[in-house]
Amino acid sequence: MLRGMDPVPHGEPGHVHDEACAAAHGEVALPPDPRRLVLVFDSPVARECAALAERLGWPVSVVEPDAARRGGGAVASVLEAGVDEGSDVVVCDHERGELGDVLAEALALPTRWIGVMGSLRHTAPHVEALRERGVPETDIARVHRPIGLDVGSRTPPEIALSTVCGLLADRNGRPGGPFPTRPAGA
């Protein structure tokens, strides 16, 4: 038996059967998630994030300010992406020259959450870029970095999985760490 899992088998008396359990067994459909994901800067990581988020049923928009890099379906600005109070904005490249402009635009819009990918081993270039644009410190503090769960991600699929799992945990009010364990037989 897996640690921390319900010790009573599905369908047996005493099994806790709630809406989440019913959805996991395909017995009911949960309502669509009204939240959306806005990915800034088209990249292999952004494409992996989009694929995972779409599998979760999240509407996804990709923002690529550089027309030469803009693929099909991507828009030129965060404003064009239709950001609203349910939007999570994820900047997928912390080294692009447009970083400050894109973040300043996102911070001026009603978003649920804004984050920039990047390792703690590197400086946070968005802070200085936003200061240069006169963005107040309280707004700069709204930008999360690093983002995702700390699972040692290195490849685009791993980084995307960490990022999307971190957003899912945050959206659901969970810490995103391991489940608490129970003593055997409890």
Interacting residues of 155 by C-beta distance below 8 A, sequence separation 6+: none
Q: With a threshold of 0.95, does the pTM exceed it?
A: no
Alpha-carbon span 91 to 93, nearest angstrom: 6
Residue 72: which residues within 8 A CB-CB, separation 6 or more?
Answer: none
Name which of 21-35, 83-97, 107-121 the model is least confident about: 21-35
- Residue 52's region, left for phi above 0, alpha for psi from -120 to 50, else beta, is alpha
pLDDT at res. 153: 93
Assess whether pLDDT exceeds 90 at residue 113.
yes
Reported confidence tier of residue 1, pLDDT bands at 50, 70, 90: very low
Sign of the dihedral defined by the CA atoms of residues 152, 156, 158, 161, in that order:
positive
Task: Supply 124's token pair.
Answer: 């946070």
Query: Tokens standing for 178?
Result: 């391991």
Please name each of the domains of the chain with its CATH number.
33-171 (3.40.50.720)
Please give the Cα distance from 40 to 116 (Å, whole number): 9
The token pair that represents 2 in the structure block: 């897996």
Give tens-digit pLDDT for 115-129. Answer: 999 888 877 889 999
Q: What is the pLDDT of residues 65-91, one digit of tens each?
A: 999 999 889 999 999 999 999 999 999
